[in-house]
Amino acid sequence: MATFNAQDGTKIYFKDWGKGKPVLFSHGWPLDADMWDSQMNFLAQRGYRAIAFDRRGFGRSDQPWEGYDYDTFASDINDLIEHLDLREITLVGFSMGGGDVARYIGRYGSERVSALALLGAVTPIFIKTDDHPEGVDKSVFDDIKVGLLKDRAQFISDFSTPFYGLNKGQSVSDGVKAQTLNIALLASLKGTVECVTAFSETDFRADIAKIDVPTLVIHGSGDQVVPFEATGRLAASTIKNARLKVYENAPHGFAVTHQQQLNDDLLAFLTSH
């Protein structure tokens, strides 16, 4: 099993498929690298090197008690990039993973990065604040943490409905729902809860301002988890020369519901720069 050691000794799992220009994927909450299997397989078959890791506390990575903050997540990505000596990378971040890759550029620059894709991402800021009134109220995130601590398995099971838009005309198989729950339950409870605080309260606006590589922003207009108007639209309007693609009525989990469309769009973006 391929792993590397982060700065604090945490062992982090990654998968590395194919050969060619590298594409590094950062997953969403509460998932792991397996959420990217379709995209990785598709791109690796077309001459790219697809790499994805399990965030600390999730999947097959170690479950440390501390380190569930975006400076640490960005440091972990930097450690992986240096471990594999990657260059000319396209970074792809979904949901909370969009924060990882934005903070990576904010802290480490874009010397090794050639492009960026933010998919349903929590950037530039998720939570409602005085200067971000369109954000999501803190009480929503507080309720999520209460639900996780009370009955994580049932909470995640129920969470599949808005995540995949099952209450808004979308559909996924029973297998997908089972896999989503199984992946989520591999994670540390501590990490799962603390990441809610991290992805909801972290302000990425300073990181977004430092992005100087071609950027693709994809968001579903029907996203009930990370609302487009509060996040993706603002990111696309802030990042210089960003391309915005809105998937009409698509839910947060469009990597599944709009799998082929996403695969095709990522490939088109990769071949355009």
> Long-range contact list for 143-150, CB < 8 A, 24+ apart?
144/196, 145/193, 145/196, 145/197, 148/189, 148/192, 148/193, 148/196, 149/189, 149/193
Active site residues per annotation:
95, 223, 252
User: How far is the C-alpha of 34 from the C-alpha of 179, rounded, in Å?
Assistant: 9
pLDDT one-digit tens code per residue, 135-164: 999 999 999 999 999 999 999 999 999 999
251 three-class SS: coil
Distance between CA atoms of residues 222 and 46, nearest Å? 30
Instruction: Render pLDDT for 233-244 as a digit per residue (tens, 0 to 9).
Output: 999 999 998 999
**Residue closest to 39 by CA, chosen among 267, 269, 271:** 267
Identify which of 48, 163, 63, 57 has the alpha carbon closest to the alpha carbon of residue 114: 48
Q: How high is the pLDDT of residue 34? A: 98
pLDDT tens-place string over residues 76-105: 999 999 999 999 999 999 999 999 999 999
Q: pLDDT value at position 159?
A: 97
Q: How far is CA 135 from the centre of its chain?
A: 18
Is the pLDDT at 117 greater than 90, yes or no?
yes
Could you tell me the fold of the domain covering 3-271?
A: Rossmann fold (3.40.50)
For the stretch 199-214, pLDDT in tens is: 999 999 999 999 999 9
Taking every pair of Cα atoms in the chain, the longest distance, rounded to a whole number of angstroms, is 47
pLDDT-derived band at 273 (thresholds 50, 70, 90) equals: confident
pLDDT at 1: 83
What is the mean pLDDT of the segment spanning 240-269? 97
> Can you give 171-201 as a three-state secondary structure string?
CCCHHHHHHHHHHHHCCCHHHHHHHHHHHHH
What are the residue boundaries of the structural domains of the chain, listed by start?
3-271
